[in-house]
């Protein structure tokens, strides 16, 4: 889950983007960045860690740009480095850039094909494939380039593109992840959540899956990615406050998380299932080692342990292997019986859990 914010209008946008990212930081805090369209090209500021680092890096930037993108990242593909921080570029980083939330499932095939055509990649991310796809299709019309790129993608994602040759234009698209348009007076916003711009405008429109979104200071238009057919969406006035917007209109965060479970599961497994087949190269085990497993141990604390109890039912049903959920803080004080045919999985709760980490260290020590 990542956060996206875009702006076109008459105001200098650096502060608007940073303020929007601050309200979207709950969606990802591994790294963050902004892209600002300047007369000489697109200028970037990126930083690792929480948003304060980006603010410090962007402080000396005296930009007066009124056209830009921002992104806060929760890393899925690629480590937490400045090179992997969005906005991401094509081969010519001064002309084209994108920000993306979600997962591009067929990025491996796309990258191979683009590299064969001579495209050079500068990050480890799946999202960079989108910027190069747009670059491949671009022949002077950014909207058509985005539409053509969208139709080659598989997965669940929202993305927004900016191009130096098109001042005051942002083009986005969405499929199974959120994207909302903020409608202002002579200015427009595009974001993952309305909280990013709620203090600037409460008038919003919600694109559908498969929509391409085109925003300019004068307004917004939509077309279906599959065939270019124009579509329209009603403008809605939100009565949420900041907390209500962060909760997506749900009464409580718990209720929001319950209804977001399908999206959370899809994001978790989406990159690991391709055309009905599992892709487990990141597991660190060979096919033979997986086939030779005879037992699975799940280690966690708190509510993460309860997740492991539920996972036991799923894993035993599908893998047909015995599964033992255990409390990590207790497990480390025993002399656990594990061997080369035992897979030990640690499940963290709200980030790193010390007892779970210690349990995983013990498991590695025992082989």
pTM of the model: 0.79
CATH of domain 3-246: 3.60.20.10
CA nearest neighbour of 172 among 8, 367, 361, 1: 8
Per-residue model confidence as pLDDT tens digits over 37-64: 999 999 999 989 888 888 888 887 778 9
Q: Is the model more confident about 275 or about 84?
A: 84
Q: What is the mean pLDDT of the chain?
A: 89
Residue 243 predicted with pLDDT over 80? no
Q: Is the model more confident about 231 or about 63?
A: 231
CATH of 280-365, picked from 3.20.20.450, 3.40.50.720, 3.40.50.10490, 3.30.70.20, is 3.40.50.10490
Residue 265 predicted with pLDDT over 90? no
CA nearest neighbour of 345 among 313, 291, 305: 305
Residue 159 predicted with pLDDT over 70? yes
What does the domain layout of the chain look like in residue ranges?
A: 3-246, 280-365
pLDDT, average across residues 238-265 = 78
Determine which of 18-32, 181-195, 239-253, 316-330 has the lowest per-residue pLDDT on average.
239-253
Per-residue model confidence as pLDDT tens digits over 309-322: 999 999 999 999 99
């Amino acid at each position: 889950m990542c956060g996206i914010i875009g702006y076109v209008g008459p105001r200098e946008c650096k502060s608007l983007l940073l303020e929007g990212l601050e309200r979207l930081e709950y969606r990802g805090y591994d790294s963050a960045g902004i892209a600002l369209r300047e007369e000489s090209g697109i200028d970037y500021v990126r930083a690792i860690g929480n948003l304060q680092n980006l603010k410090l890096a962007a402080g000396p930037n005296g930009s007066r740009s009124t056209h830009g993108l921002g992104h806060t990242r929760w890393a899925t593909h690629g480590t937490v480095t400045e090179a992997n921080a969005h906005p991401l570029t094509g081969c010519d980083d001064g002309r084209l850039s994108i920000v993306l939330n979600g997962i591009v499932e067929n990025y491996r095939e796309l990258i191979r094909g683009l590299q064969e055509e001579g495209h050079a990649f500068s990050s480890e991310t799946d999202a960079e494939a989108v910027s190069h796809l747009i670059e491949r299709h671009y022949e002077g019309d950014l909207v058509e380039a985005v539409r053509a790129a969208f139709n080659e993608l598989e997965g669940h994602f929202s993305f927004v593109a900016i191009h130096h040759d098109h001042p005051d234009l942002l083009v986005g698209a969405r499929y199974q992840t959120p994207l909302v348009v903020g409608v202002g007076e002579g200015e427009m916003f595009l974001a993952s959540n309305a909280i990013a711009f709620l203090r600037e405008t409460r008038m919003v429109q919600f694109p559908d899956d498969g929509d391409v979104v085109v925003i300019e200071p004068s307004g917004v238009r939509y077309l279906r990615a599959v065939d270019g057919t124009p579509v329209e969406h009603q403008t809605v006035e939100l009565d949420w406050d900041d907390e209500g917007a962060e909760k997506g209109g749900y009464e409580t965060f718990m209720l929001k998380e319950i209804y977001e479970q399908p999206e959370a599961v899809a994001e978790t497994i989406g990159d690991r299932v391709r055309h009905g087949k599992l892709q487990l190269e990141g597991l660190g085990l060979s096919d033979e080692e997986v086939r030779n497993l005879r037992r699975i141990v799940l280690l966690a604390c708190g509510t993460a342990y309860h997740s492991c109890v539920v996972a036991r039912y799923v894993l035993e049903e599908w893998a047909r292997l015995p599964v033992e959920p255990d409390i990590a803080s207790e497990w480390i004080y025993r002399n656990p019986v594990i061997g080369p045919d035992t897979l030990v999985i640690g499940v963290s709760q709200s980030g790193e859990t010390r007892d779970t980490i210690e349990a995983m260290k013990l498991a590695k020590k025992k082989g």
